[in-house]
Amino acid sequence: MNTPRKGSLLVQDARTKRRNAAEARFKAYGLTAIAVGVLALIVLVTSILGNGLSAFRQTEIMLTVELPESKLDKSGTRDLDVMKKVTTLTYGPILAKGLKDVIAANGIEIEGLTAKDVDAMISKEASAQLRDRVLADPSLVGQTVEITVLASGRIDGYYKGRVSLASAELDSNVTPAQLRLADALKDKGILVTKLNPAFITAPDASDQRPEAAGLGVAILGSAYMMIVVLVLALPIGVAASIYLEEFAPKNRWTDLIEVNISNLAAVPSIVFGILGLAIFINFGGLRASAPIVGGLVLTLMTLPTIIISTRAALKSVPPSIRDAALGVGASKMQAVFHHVLPLAAPGILTGAIIGLAQALGETAPLLLIGMVAFVREYPAAYSAADGLFGEPSTALPVQVFNWTQRADPAFFERASGAIIVLLVFLLIMNAVAIILRRRFERRW
């Protein structure tokens, strides 16, 4: 026979204590899980911001250089075709001389500084900068001009904490003397680290010139692809949803379409890349790396997302609306297009924007259709040879991938900076979607 249990409502017995402890533990697991998720988000964002924000600032050197006619335009005619034959190799020494003059003029003396060190302070991109400026305005030849040029990547890294005097000892690309020179120049206000709009607008740069690399081509390419996706995926997706939600009979065929769409929404994105490569490029004969191909692939990828959200939006419009329209003599088609669709529009637009945001961040399929190529020319929206959106281009997320594959650690900073740009775009798109939903969504 059992002994009567001790305790009361006021005193917990051992079993109740155990059960309450289990309850507390269970709750703690749940809280921990949420904390893990939130913490992951915070670490992710701070890591990207910490690595990438410095990409928006760039170290530059202000120089005063003479542009000798004897070197830049021997003919003296200022004829552009002749001047174009003078390569950047000629412009390089002019800049180096300008820097030497500045050093001498300011009375800076650094121990162990060689002439080669002084040359290497300036980015290799700078001579192209100067050449472009001279070709744009040939009358500058023979004059003395002020020009702000990019400092080399390592010098820039010194002011962003990537390079230090100690690491420069071991680095073959930079000497401690250069860093001391940089500090001296900074004291005189000749070398400054300032905001860098070129990061957003400039095209990509080669392996040795991380300081000049920008996102211009990638942003343009992504914009073209988004236009293609919007123009194709939205109408096709809405039309498909209207058919499936409003007209399709319930039979095996429509059931197959349903399963098919749900499956397509979960097919790995890289499979769409294979599809694009095989169908649009190898079979269809479109050009690799073209935004039109990327746009088509992303359209097919986004369609299921748009269809699923559009159908939800259509479903949320109450049947009474349809019945009322049918009751006054509208056809089924009129009821849908004149009454249901306008009421579902905010939901459809929200879904479309979210689908577009997904497409904007997608990388894997674009790798397969050749968008990893190194492209420096801004692609034109239309050209006679390549058609609409047919010129080779790259895309924002692919540019990130591209930069992670480069040797110079300065490109990691660029990649993180590019991610920030990408996330800002996504944030704007999602904010618009949320505002649309808050502002226009009707609850029935």
Binders of other proteins in range 35-54 (CB under 8 A): 36-38, 40-41, 43-44, 47-48, 51
286 within 8 A of 391, measured Cβ to Cβ? no
Stretch 419-438 residues interacting with other proteins (CB under 8 A): 419, 422-423, 426, 430
Tell me which residue of 387, 394, 366 sits closest to 285, measured CA to CA. 387
Spell 209-238 as b/e; 16+ CB within 10 A means b. bbbbbbbbbbbbbbbbbbebbbebbbebbb
Nearer to other proteins, 159 or 401 (CB): 401
162 within 8 A of 413, measured Cβ to Cβ? yes
Would you count residue 231 as binding other proteins (CB under 8 A)? no
Please name the amino acid found at residue 435: I
Would you count residue 32 as binding other proteins (CB under 8 A)? yes
Nearer to other proteins, 40 or 80 (CB): 40
Shortest approach of other proteins to residue 38 CB, angstroms? 5
Nearer to other proteins, 17 or 194 (CB): 17
End-to-end CA distance of the chain: 62
Would you count residue 357 as binding other proteins (CB under 8 A)? yes
396 within 8 A of 332, measured Cβ to Cβ? no
Going residue by residue from 364 to 383, which x/- string records binding to other proteins, judged by CB under 8 A? x--xx-x-x-----------
Instruction: Compute how many residues bind other proteins; rule: CB under 8 A.
Output: 88
Burial of 65 (0-12, 13-18, 19+ CB in 10 A): buried
Would you count residue 444 as binding other proteins (CB under 8 A)? no
Looking at residue 329, the DSSP 8-state letter turns out to be T
Q: Which of 7, 13, 15, 19 binds other proteins (CB under 8 A)?
A: 19
- Per DSSP, the three-state class of 409 is coil
Q: How many residues belong to the chain?
A: 444
Going residue by residue from 63 to 82, which x/- string records binding to other proteins, judged by CB under 8 A? --------------------
Stretch 249-308 residues interacting with other proteins (CB under 8 A): 256-257, 259-264, 266-275, 277-279, 282-285, 300, 303-304, 307
Q: Which of 95, 242, 353, 436 binds other proteins (CB under 8 A)?
A: 242
